[in-house]
Amino acid sequence: MEVGDLVVDFELQADDGRMVRLSTELEKGPVVLFFYPRALTPGCTAESRHFRDLAGAFADLGAQRIGISADPVERQQRFSIKNGLDFPLLSDPDRSVAQVFGARRPGLLFNRRATFVINTDGRLLAEIKSELATDRHADEALGVLRGLAEQSGSAS
């Protein structure tokens, strides 16, 4: 998948049990979709908390945050509650969505840490990759969204 490509629509179950469809979320504003290896681990906790702590900045830009991993819904729910996360965590147990986005590792290994900024028209604006710099994902996604807002003349 390259910047400018249309992203494939998908629907997965969230930590709260509801089904979340990407196209429905895009109706609300741009989506920042971040894949993380495994819920309740130190790096994924740090990354998710950083996305949580920047809630106001994402809201100012009208963006939705969505986390995704292969963890079962129950583990995602524990992760969300434990960390006070205010965005959906989606369960992709067969890693089919991770495969489409190129975030799936071969075999039984956990997914790669990768973030995708998707515009309301369903086009990929940016891909952010870093296995260790967990803050980088939210920070760079905000930079992309701010640039988009400036281009459209509605920067904040």
- Are the C-beta atoms of residues 99 and 108 closer than 8 Å to each other? no
Q: CA Rg, the chain, in Å?
A: 14
- 97: alpha, beta or left, given left = phi > 0 and alpha = psi -120 to 50? alpha
Q: What is the DSSP letter of 54?
A: T
Tokens of 61: 């830009």
Active-site residue, 97 included: no
Q: Which of 33, 39, 44, 70 is catalytic?
A: 44
Which of 100, 122, 115 has the alpha carbon at shortest distance from 27? 122
Instruction: Quote the CA–CA distance of 148 and 12 in Å, as a whole number.
Output: 27
- 94: alpha, beta or left, given left = phi > 0 and alpha = psi -120 to 50? alpha
Catalytic residues, by residue number, are 44
